[in-house]
Amino acid sequence: MAAAAVGTAEDRTISRKIGQPPTRTKCPAPFLLKTYELLEFVEEEEENYSGKNKVISWNEEGTGFVVWSPAEFSELMLPKYFKHNNFSSFIRQLNTYGFKKVASKRWEFSHEKFKRGSKHLLGKITRKKSDSSAFPAYLKPSDHIMAAKEENNITLQLLMEENQNLRKERLELQMQIAHFKTLETKLMDCLSQYVGNQHNKVRRLF
Amino acid sequence: MAAAAVGTAEDRTISRKIGQPPTRTKCPAPFLLKTYELLEFVEEEEENYSGKNKVISWNEEGTGFVVWSPAEFSELMLPKYFKHNNFSSFIRQLNTYGFKKVASKRWEFSHEKFKRGSKHLLGKITRKKSDSSAFPAYLKPSDHIMAAKEENNITLQLLMEENQNLRKERLELQMQIAHFKTLETKLMDCLSQYVGNQHNKVRRLF
DNA sequence: GGGAATATTCCC
DNA sequence: GGGAATATTCCC
């Protein structure tokens, strides 16, 4: 039974690594590698059995691929590479990795970085977010949590601004006071010359 | 190939519903149902082949089950019910649903609501949270986001306090200044009486 | 097409 | 044991 599927599944342990920088070329997702190798396989095989109808193949330009017979593909090929034989699950994965259906009358799919002869580009293909790796729906950006956070941040910023202004004002007021104190002393001294030579005597007048 | 596994997989479509109230008895998770039915199956079979070594069975009291031979169980039984033949994946699921290993020397597991003859309780067994249905790890309560929020709140509170103090200080300083202004006027007036009757003449001295 | 639940794998 | 990534299923 599942010998083939399990075999390919275990290939994942060979080199798949998590948490590598997304900028560097990394080990492609198992799904992408298997799909690519599946296409490589049928391409090689095609030379030997050129008489048969194709089930799946690269398109003419190698910019995408066509599933010529979804029924045969699902029943015969999918289980050799994946743990199921459902065409819809295969499509779901294609969508997850950003493939586009590029023809209305046949099952042709393409992805900018999924081309014949460019296996090295597979590592650059990423899952679309929000699969469950991203935020749950009720915590997505522009939701109310985000709004609350933003509001918090705005409050914080306003407070810090006002705070800074208040400190500045305080300094100015303290300088004014220092000036008044000096002035007071001078006035007192001056006045004491008239009233009599005692500073304290003058002070008592006010 | 995967005929058996796929067959059981498709049973899920029969009646499994999502989003039902968790309080009412609902359709059990596929994993639980399959594991239970697997045990039912070996129990029936046991009557016919009582001579063979058991691979898996309910324990004596029917409060749990024992995998007597993990190797045979994984290789022969798992693929008939699941899309894999890995004992560790089976264990992972048991843990997900809250089963406990209840013996140190053999693979015996139990769960309060997983008992022989009580198939109706399966619907009450739920996945442990945080599988992806709950918050992602970095958004869980008591995690650093929570800490950050808390820190944010503390910062906010401190800022508001400081703000209030600064306003109070400002008021006091303004009152001091008002006092000095009054004082200055009085001193000027007084002094001008001595220097001559012109306030402005006195001011020019300072 | 894609959101979300469950399953399987991988890793600590 | 369990967190987290990927895979498969189910549903809108």
Q: What is the pTM of this model?
A: 0.60
Name beta bridge partners: B63. Answer: none
**CA–CA separation, B45 and B183 (whole Å):** 108
Tens digits of residue pLDDT in B61-93: 999 999 999 999 999 999 999 999 999 999 999
**CA–CA separation, A115 and B154 (whole Å):** 54
Residue type, position B195, single letter? V
Structure tokens that stand for B18 in this block: 């999502």
Tell which of A12, A133, A150, A169 to mutate to test the B interface (max B CBs under 10 Å).
A169
- Chain A contact for B194 (CB, 8 A cutoff): yes
Contacts of B130 in chain A (CB under 8 A): none
Contacts of B191 in chain A (CB under 8 A): 187, 190-191, 194
DSSP secondary structure, B111-136, as one string? BTTB-TT-GGGGGG----S-SSSS--
Residue B97, pLDDT score: 98
- Determine the distance in angstroms separating the CA of B153 from the nearest CA of chain A, rounded to an integer: 8
**CA–CA separation, A57 and A64 (whole Å):** 9
CB contact under 8 A, A184 and B186: no
Strand, helix or coil for residue B66: strand
DSSP secondary structure, A91-153, as one string? HHHHHHTT-EE--SSSEEEEBTTB-TT-GGGGGG----S-SSSS--GGGSTTSHHHHHHHHHH
CB contact under 8 A, A2 and B6: no
- B residues 139..168 contacting A (CB < 8 A): 139, 152, 155-156, 159-160, 162-163, 166-167
Angle B121-B126-B132 from CA coordinates, rounded to 5°: 165
- Chain B contact for A185 (CB, 8 A cutoff): no
**In Å, what is the separation between the CA of B115 and the C1' of C11?**
32
- B residues 9..28 contacting A (CB < 8 A): 9
**CA–CA separation, A78 and A4 (whole Å):** 10
Which candidate from A135, A163, A195 shows the least CB-CB separation from B162? A163
Q: Which nucleotide is nearest to A2 (CA to C1')?
A: C8
Residues 6+ apart with CB under 8 A from A100: A109, A110, A111
**CA–CA separation, A64 and B193 (whole Å):** 102
pLDDT of chain A, 206 residues: tens digit per residue? 333 333 333 333 334 443 334 444 579 999 999 999 999 999 998 888 777 889 999 999 999 999 999 999 999 999 999 999 999 999 999 999 999 999 989 999 999 999 999 999 999 999 987 644 444 444 444 455 555 666 666 777 777 777 777 887 887 787 788 888 888 888 888 888 887 766 777 777 77
Domains of chain B in sequence order: 30-124 (1.10.10.10)
Tell which of A166, A185, A189 to mutate to test the B interface (max B CBs under 10 Å).
A166
Best CA proximity match to A2, nearest among B88, B16, B77: B77
Contacts of A183 in chain B (CB under 8 A): 180, 184, 206
Which candidate from A85, A194, A205 shows the least CB-CB separation from B6? A85
**CA–CA separation, B40 and A151 (whole Å):** 57
CB contact under 8 A, B156 and A159: yes
**CA–CA separation, B61 and B84 (whole Å):** 29
Within 13 A of B16's CA, how many CA atoms are on the CB side?
A: 13
> Is A159 in contact with B158 (CB distance < 8 Å)?
no
CB contact under 8 A, B2 and A79: yes
CB contact under 8 A, A170 and B174: no
Best CA proximity match to B34, nearest among B66, B18, B11: B11
Q: Which residue of A has its CA nearest to B166?
A: A166
Ranges under pLDDT 70 in chain B? 1-25, 130-153, 197-198
